[in-house]
Amino acid sequence: MDLRIALLLEALDRAYDTKSWHGPVLKGALRGVTLREAVFRPAPKRNSIHALIQHAAYWKFIVRRIVTGAYAEKFPRSPCNWPDPKNPVTAQQLKADLKLLDDEHANLRAAVAAFSPKRLNAKTPKGAWTYGEMILGVAAHDLYHAGQVSLLKRMARGKG
């Protein structure tokens, strides 16, 4: 495997589900989250952990779609990027959305593993970023939200 692809896969995993020196990864931060914690909002127009789960899954989906060129594929939740805060979240929905996040991570990994390293420096169709930057960016996105999830859990537990 090309070293650049291998490093991108490692970055994706170290941000999502592999132990890392820098602190919590997204899946680790989500481990053990209760329904009460998942729907907690620190203020009316602020995100919940549940909203961050769907948002992270959506952006893994978007980057995979860009990498594969499968633009006709649709995200399985509506609204896509952020769930409607008025819709109640059940324990079953939380479990399904955590599975969706895992599935989107696995699908993104597979797409990156199959990606031609010769195209990593090429601009994506919208032209703002390269494919390599998009892939590395979605790993950074996971880390950013892992920190938010950790803070929201502490706040929901009254330790904020």
Reduce the secondary structure of the chain to three states and give it as a string.
Answer: CCHHHHHHHHHHHHHHCCCCCCCCCHHHHHCCCCHHHHHCCCCCCCCCHHHHHHHHHHHHHHHHHHHHCCCCCCCCCCCCCCCCCCCCCCHHHHHHHHHHHHHHHHHHHHHHHCCCHHHCCCECCCCCCEHHHHHHHHHHHHHHHHHHHHHHHHHHCCCC
pTM score: 0.95
Q: Which domains does the chain have, with CATH numbers?
A: 3-156 (1.20.120.450)
Per-residue pLDDT of the chain (160 residues; tens, 9 = 90+): 899 999 999 999 999 999 888 889 999 999 999 999 999 999 988 999 999 999 999 999 999 999 999 999 999 999 999 999 889 999 999 999 999 999 999 999 999 999 999 999 999 998 899 999 999 999 999 999 999 999 999 999 997 6
